[in-house]
Structure formats: structure tokens, C-alpha cells
Amino acid sequence: MNVLIVHAHPEPRSFNTALRDHSVKILDDHGHAVKVSDLYAMGFNPVAGPADFGDRADPDYLVYALEQRHGHEMGTLAPDIAAEIEKLMWCDLLILHFPLYWFSVPAILKGWIDRVLISGLTYGGRRFYDQGGLKGKRAMLTLTLGGREHMLDSDAAIHGRLNDMLKPLLQGTLAYTGMTVLPPFVAWHVPYVDDATRAGYLDAYGERLRTLDSLAPLTFPSLDTFDDAMRPK
């Protein structure tokens, strides 16, 4: 299995980064090939803009998704985007690995999504959800956060359910592009827990990575149940 870990944490000595390093070792020990895009270490540019295109279908008016399609067809996407797309297409499993910022990904990782998951390849026209361009790949979120599980484990919890907060990522991004989405791996309350608890998270994540095939994926819409205007049949 080829695994791409897209990682975003500003502190190289963080527990989040240790969890990433641990996962690389576990995956490597099990014979998988692993690539890591460490966005902070790469100085990745997260801002979608005109400089992303070496050639423009319309130099005077930027429609970002149309220029993504044009740039992909012509091979004129910016080199940093093209390099990430190559890793994305290589992988069988994509892991987005991050600390939760405002119940979402840090901006540097949002920019990886904005710039790398290009129209014309990962989605476009009727190619989304179970017809998405990345069909056949699996994806997973791995996140650390400050909150406790009881704050995000039911409709009555103070923030509701974690997977509802993550809906734009789980459904609107990963499932939208056709990937099979595994349940998120979550390390709770990280800044406040003791070393034994952190060691427990490392062990649990190792176990998770060894048993991916036994996990039931999350379920999302199928285009089969919608008509051509995307209304429910």
C-alpha cells in the first residue's frame, strides 16, 4: 500500500508530530511505502491564486476551477501543485494529519486542499461522491485537539458530534472526490494529558494503522439516488 501523509503542525517537537513519526515507522515496518508532505517544513503556499497557472485559458479573468482544468490538461500547473498531485495519484491511502484549529484544518492544510484537489481530475461535472475522480483510494483524518471526548460525542454535547463538525472535510472534501473515508483517528485533550495517556494514543494509532482493513468506512450519498439535476429520485 502507498500512503501519503499530508501533515500540518507548526511545532516539530509537538505530540502531533511525534504521532506522525510513529505512524511512518509502523507503516514502514509493515512493508507499506510512505511519503510525507510536511507542509510547514516545505513552506507550502496555501493561497489559491493566479500564480498557480503557468498558462491561462483566460488571462484577463480568473475562474479558479476552469484554470485548474486547463493547467492540468496543458501540464502548466505550478510545480508545487504538480508535485503534490503526483503524490496524491500515487497513493492508495491519504491521511490528513493535523491539530484541530477552529473545528477544521489549519489554513496551510486548507490551502493544500484548495490547490491540489483540482477540478478535472479529482472532481468535475458528474464526477463526485461515488463517481469522484479519486475513487478506489482510501482517506482518513488523524487529528489532535484540546477538547475532551464528552464535548463532541452526542447531539447533546456542547459542540455536538465531532463528525458533524468535520462534515465539510469528511463528506464535502474526501468523499466528494470519490475516496472511501475511514473514521477519523482522534487524540483528545492532548495539551493536558499525562505521558501514559500520550503513549496510549501512540499505541492506539499503531493498532489502527495495522487494522485499517477491518474498519467500516463512513457512508455518504450515491449519485444513483439523484436525478440529472441532483434532486433526490
Residues forming the site for a copy of itself (CB under 8 A)? 10-11, 13-14, 40, 46-50, 61-65, 101-108, 110-111, 113-114, 117, 129, 146, 148, 150-151, 156-160, 164-168, 171-173, 176, 191, 221, 226, 229-232
- The strand ranges marked E within the chain are 2-7, 33-38, 93-99, 138-144, 180-181, 185-187
Asked if 147 contacts 190 with a C-beta cutoff of 8 angstroms, the reply is: no
The distance of Cα 144 from the centroid of its chain, to the nearest Å, equals 14
Smallest separation, CB 78 to a copy of itself (Å): 14
80 or 114, CB closer to a copy of itself? 114
CA distance 190 to 225: 41
Smallest separation, CB 218 to a copy of itself (Å): 13
Smallest separation, CB 58 to a copy of itself (Å): 10
- The DSSP string of 72-90 is HHHT-B-HHHHHHHHHHHH
Range 8-34 burial, b when 16+ CB lie within 10 A, else e: bbeeeeebbbebbebbbebbeeeeeeb
136 or 191, CB closer to a copy of itself? 191
Smallest separation, CB 54 to a copy of itself (Å): 16
Smallest separation, CB 172 to a copy of itself (Å): 3
Bridge partners of 93, per DSSP, are 3, 138
Asked if 94 contacts 137 with a C-beta cutoff of 8 angstroms, the reply is: yes
Grid coordinates representing 61 are 479573468
Smallest separation, CB 24 to a copy of itself (Å): 22
Bridge partners of 232, per DSSP, are 226
Dihedral of alpha carbons 46, 175, 167, 231, sign: positive
122 or 209, CB closer to a copy of itself? 122
Residues, the chain, total?
233
